Structure 1
Amino acid sequence: MKIKGVLLGMAGMVAATGAYAADLPAAPAAPEPVDYVRVCDAFGTGFFYIPGTETCMKISGYVQAEYDVGITNGSAGSLTGSGWGGSSASGNWSDRDSNTYRFRTRANIRFDTRTNTEFGLLRTYTEMNWYNDDNSFSSDLDKAYIQFGGLTFGRAQSFFDFYTGVGYNSIFEPAHSDTTANLAAYTFAFGNGLSATASVEDTTARRTSIGYVTGASYDPSTGVLDLTNAQAMTNGYGGSRIPDVVANFRVDQAWGSAQVMAAGHQVWTSTALEENGAGTATGVVDPSTTSSKYGFAVGAGVTVNMPFLAAGDNFSLQGAYAQGAVKYTAPQATIQWVSYTNGDPTSYVTGGVPDGFIDPATGQLKLTQSWSVAAGLQHFFTPQVYAAIDGSYFGSKVDLPGSSNSQVNNWNLTGTVGYTPVAGLELGAALEYINSSADNNDLTGIVKSDNQLIGLVRVQRNF
């Protein structure tokens, strides 16, 4: 009886357990296999496959801290518009209202994606910067473009550009072409490193200004132009009508690279200048209608690798000439205007050398001629220590009121030293100098000569 009772009890427990089990949730399904990130070695170091796709991505960038000191004795305002000096400050080290230092922090990030397709490589590239200069925040979308086969669409480095410097060049830009623009381009590769590109690019990225004066008077009987109370104006451009057309032919091989390039640029005047006679001196009886014109630029450059000195050594040389397209010869060519009141200088205004100037005695637009030569040398004393020097000269002939074909010059020189104690970290310093001058002592409204010297220290972590 006892055995029979035990067996019956066990049977009841089994039945009850089965009933309870029927009320419990089903066991979870086996987990899906994890798609781990795979290294993509088809495009170089740092690329990985985006999980679930055949697209490779590389994420890179840097964080930079920089400390700049202006050890200058300038006579005019800021040469760069970067906050050194001011519209009424002299820019002189001893002037209490002039800025003499700048703290800058910059963060940069880049996304590079690439996919091989049956029609060729599909690539996107995005680069963004965030700045904080003396507690003032700014940001920019430096580049964002799509490449498919030989096509490029979006915001990219201008296809006119070649050599853009080897040193820090933080404050003063050497006289070379270095501009990011919205564009659409096609590049044809001939093989053996030879290629040719045709591009249409946003013309506003290359505009400086169209200069003119107000407050001038003209006596046609004597031909005397009175500029006693003339005010310099530099906002004479109208709306954009025709994009810049750019073309280059280049070669990239083991010895280095070389390029020849050309561009067309429309100098389009505003309605006020075109129809209303703004910029024409009082006393001109019948001013000619201002006409817009088409400018151009041509250039050539070469970079030679010099591994026989040290790995990474190189030398670059570039030259360019333009009419009505100053930024193709120098992105930061400057001129210092003096504003007058009753014949006395009251303030300084720094601006770019204009693409053209309205002759106040005729109302005609005269295009600026400009030219530049730039060179750079980089040498590695050890794999961790290097030095670089950038030098350039920019010259221009500007038809300014009272002085036709006046020459404005900019000289730039930058020396840089850098040290990489560990991979990804660079410590460096640079000394930057710029001189801006005009060739006419009596040139009303233009500062004859101005000098600025900037020293800086930089710490940068690359990843």
Structure 2
Amino acid sequence: MKIKSLILGSAAALLAVSGARAADAVMAPEPEPVDYVRVCDAYGAGFFYIPGTETCLSINGYVWFQVGATSRQDANDTPGYYYNDDHDFGPFAAHTGWQTGSRVRINFDARSETEWGTLRGWMRLQASWDQQSKFGDGPVGIDQAFVQLGGFAAGYGESAWFYQFNNSTLNYGSFSWGGLYYGYTERAQIRYEFGGKTGLYGAISLEDPKDELNYMPNVVGRIGYGAAWGAVALTGAYDHDRTGLAVGGDAGWALSGSALFNIPSMPGSALKIIGYYNGSDSEYGPGGPLNGYTLTNAAFPGGVDLGQPEWSVLASFLYQATPDLGLIVSGQYFGDAYIAGGDDTVNGTSAWAAEVSAVWTPVKNFEVRPEIVYTKAEHLDGTVSGFLRFTRYF
């Protein structure tokens, strides 16, 4: 009997202790509901909603490596082109060594809808390595950035002078990347633009002059029309003070007419033609092999710096041989160059350039691009330059 009582008492004690511990147990909280990332298809592929907001975000970019070379030996040869420390293409150094370059680019694009139209914030991070920086880390910088509401935009980015066609992702002056000249420049600007991929489109842009000490902006305007057959556009630029002087500077102006024709019987193929005219050497125009070149001859024994050509015509034909291979043939002619900062041209300074290139995408988002260009100024020997580039887009 005593043994039975002892067993029952022990069991009761154990149950009491277990109940006390159960009362003190910490229960795990219920998991919070997960706000999964949602696809945003309002602005095309690649956008997603930032969790907890109605803002759509896209992140994309590329990484590329290239190696180039030139036949240019010295100042008696026409300048060629390669990727340089200005983070773009520029004159080859006067030697025949290999020129290597790499670039990393990341774009962030945030958009949402308001009663005033699309609210957008866009920025580009970029780092480049070249002959000057290849033995160190590439400097990462904000290459471009702007804010936009409806048709109004303000920030730092590509000048309105550079773009011609709203309905073409190939807005460069040629379908090629490096050897020809199409007036690429980046500016701080305030602009208003209208129109879409078809129909009437245009823009007016107030742009911060380079190296000018005054309160007046440069003005760039563009008007154009796009359709299934292609597009046409007319662009004009007014350089308030092309001499860069705070007082007494002279104004300059430039015009550009562009046409893009899609080839009906060749899907993906197109012809692009652009004409440029400069009233003087200003910040606008296509540039050219002799822009920035110091000419020394009988007329200028002490040397004279050259600027923009008076006029130029560029033509570029893209033949889409297969869905994965595009072949490009381009050419450009440059009329006599102006004296830098002036309105007088120098006879014997016309030039021309011819280029062949290809774009091969063996797999999606991977591009192999070779380009070869021949440049020849009237008073200089010709130069052959080129590069081979590998790009991974994402």
TM-score by length of 2: 0.82
- Match runs of 1:73-112 below 5 Å: 75-76=75-76, 79=79, 98-112=95-109
- Match runs of 1:123-162 below 5 Å: 123-134=120-131, 136=133, 137-138=138-139, 140-161=141-162, 162=164
Whether 1:294 aligns to 2:251 is yes
Structure 1 residue 73, shift from structure 2 partner: 5.3
Match of 2:265 among 283, 305, 308: 308
Partners of 1:41 and 1:70 in 2: CA distance: 46
Instruction: State the partner residue of 1:121.
Output: 118
CA contact (8 A) 1:265 1:294 kept: yes
Amino acid corresponding to residue 278 of structure 2 in structure 1: A
Computed over aligned residues only, the root mean square deviation of the Cα atoms, in angstroms, reads 3.3
Distance change in 2, residues 1:372/1:140 (3 Å): farther
Structure 1 portions without partners, runs of 5+: 85-90, 205-236, 275-290, 356-368, 438-447
CA contact (8 A) 1:142 1:180 kept: no
Structure 1 residue 190, shift from structure 2 partner: 9.0
CA contact (8 A) 2:151 2:192 kept: yes
Residue 53 of structure 1 aligns to a residue whose secondary structure is coil
Match of 2:204 among 191, 198, 204: 198
Distance change in 2, residues 1:127/1:252 (3 Å): farther
Partners of 1:191 and 1:344 in 2: CA distance: 52
Instruction: State the partner residue of 1:451.
Output: 382
Instruction: State the partner residue of 1:265.
Output: 239
Distance change in 2, residues 1:200/1:131 (3 Å): same
Could you report, residue by residue, the CA deviation over 1:252-284 in whole angstroms, capped at 9, with x for unpaired residues? 22222221111110235567x97xxxxxxxxxx
Residue 335 of structure 2 aligns to a residue whose secondary structure is strand
Match of 1:164 among 168, 172, 181: 172
Whether 1:378 aligns to 2:318 is yes
CA contact (8 A) 1:61 1:110 kept: yes
Could you report, residue by residue, the CA deviation over 1:195-230 in whole angstroms, capped at 9, with x for unpaired residues? 2321101111xxxxxxxxxxxxxxxxxxxxxxxxxx
Q: Which has the higher contact order (CA 8 A, sep 6+)?
A: 1
Partners of 2:100 and 2:196 in 1: CA distance: 47
Distance change in 2, residues 1:263/1:92 (3 Å): closer
Distance change in 2, residues 1:18/1:145 (3 Å): same
Structure 2 portions without partners, runs of 5+: 85-90, 165-170
Instruction: State the partner residue of 1:253.
Output: 227
Instruction: State the partner residue of 2:88.
Output: none
Q: Tell me which moved more, 254-263 or 238-247.
A: 238-247
Instruction: State the partner residue of 1:420.
Output: 361
Distance change in 2, residues 1:200/1:62 (3 Å): same
CA contact (8 A) 2:325 2:358 kept: yes
Whether 1:10 aligns to 2:16 is no
TM-score by length of 1: 0.71
CA contact (8 A) 1:39 1:47 kept: yes
Amino acid corresponding to residue 354 of structure 1 in structure 2: G
Distance change in 2, residues 1:454/1:49 (3 Å): same
Instruction: State the partner residue of 1:42.
Output: 42
Partners of 2:251 and 2:219 in 1: CA distance: 11
